[in-house]
Homo-oligomer: A and B are copies of this chain.
Amino acid sequence: MRNIEVCFSPELIHLHELQGKIVVVVDIFRATSTMIAALANGIEEISTFSDLEECREMKDQGYLIAGERNGQTVEGFDLGNSPVAFLKKDYSGQKLAMTTTNGTLAISKSSAADEILIGAFPNLSATITYLQKQKKDVLIHCAGWKGRFNLEDSLYAGALVKSLESSHEADEDGALAMKSLFEKEGHQMKAYLSKASHAKRLQNHGIEADIDFCLTLDLYELVGKVENEKVRAI
């Protein structure tokens, strides 16, 4: 039986062995959810940047550029970090450059893995099906929030551990704990998350529709995969 484990922060990822594993990077609010929405609506490839100005420069290379600071779309950028914004038209054939902090860091710190996937609830089942077909151990790398544990990424980790229990053994402490957490709270994720000060912060930014989208299961059949530092649908 393959194994599954959970890392709660990019600041702890050096304590985990990545080689030979599939790492699923997850930043539910909202980077990885936005990536999946973008890919589902035609975006061909996504490059991620922690630096705003590096991202801006991609515009000259024909990329759509997306980024927010303090909850507002950056001036001169085509889009913010809202997944829902990508649902409004067809972006077929276009390339996207996104600036995110937690998500970009988690992806770059996963580079020693055999494969890197992008995790989100709207394509959870597709990701599960893909992972079950591979013969590799899985590590869920939660982007967290400024290096700290966060609830939404952890609930996703729990959902994935639970869904893979027939193929991937969860005897690692983080995986066991998140499976229990999802078993207890997974049926009422939005109500549960609303107790958190972090979620309250997000609600103040008026992104209720984004939150609903980010917590919706199985809208898409695609899997998001990082290859050569670009995220693509497979």
Contact = CB atoms under 8 A, between A and B. Distances in A.
A175 to B, nearest CB: 9
A171 B184 CA distance: 17
Interface in A163-220: 171-174, 176-177, 180-181, 183-185, 192, 195-198, 200
A176 B193 CA distance: 9
A110 interface: no
A148 interface: yes
Contacts of A171: 195-197, 200
Q: Copies of this chain, how many? A: 2
Given A149-B173, A173-B198, A12 B12 contact: yes
Contact residues on A (Cβ < 8 Å of other chain), bracket: 20 to 34
A16 to B, nearest CB: 8
Contact of A154 (B11, B16, B177, B195): B177
A9 interface: yes
Interface in A37-93: none
Given A12-B148, A177-B177, A181-B181, 16 more contacts: A6-B149, A11-B11, A11-B15, A12-B149, A148-B173, A149-B177, A151-B173, A151-B176, A154-B173, A171-B200, A176-B195, A176-B196, A177-B181, A180-B185, A181-B184, A184-B184
